[in-house]
Amino acid sequence: MRVLPTFGLLTACALLLLATAPASAQNAPARDDIVAALEKYQSDLELDVPALRQQVAERSKMRGRKEPPPQKRPPIAPELNNLPAFNLDIAFDVDTPIVQPESYQAVGRIADALVHSSLLPYTFLIVGHMEANGKREANAILSQRRADAIREILVNTFKISSKRIQSVGLGEEQLLDFARPTGPANNQIQIMTLTKIPEQTEQPATPAKKQPAKKKRK
């Protein structure tokens, strides 16, 4: 019987594991790539996230013959395009906000990036998108649930401070690929650098007030 050299055996095992590993796990983004994209901060964006959520909800309900097709609608929040951003392909169960196991590593890489020293001084926005398939209003709702799901994993599983992360779902109201409104690129999740956390200055200790001396009773 022919015996494979140790090196050849290890290589064969490694190739077998690589071949059977989920494609998404193999393609998980590198932490340093996420950091490099998000640290390009220039100035804060004063964004009212609850108001934007409401705006998406209202616009997604619009119907009528005069309503333009998805590829001709103006972006609902064009100011977001000026923020440092990183796009991720996160796999979810069909029509749900449940993250599939092969995408856990990608979410973990986001968490690793957010605790990097270069990004600790910032807050972030998780943005959900959907391709222009199905009902427009349902897409808006599902994109919000998926953005919320990513935020919850980062906060509850990876212990990222909830004060540092907000989430919003834009549905099909701000396509990432206008040329192909039903293309897979429109299902991506984005993480954006939103604001810089104000530095806390140490307050000088206030000297305690002297209490008036009590008069001795005669």
Does the reported pTM lie above 0.75?
yes
**Please, are residues 82 and 45 in contact by the beta-carbon 8 Å criterion?**
yes
Provide the percentage of residues in the chain whose pLDDT is more than 90. Answer: 74
* CATH (residue range 22-196): 3.30.1330.60
Each residue of 50-106: pLDDT tens digit? 999 999 999 999 988 888 999 999 999 999 999 999 999 999 999 999 999 999 999
Provide the residue ranges of all domains of the chain, joining segments of one domain with +: 22-196
Provide the percentage of residues in the chain whose pLDDT is more than 70. Answer: 79
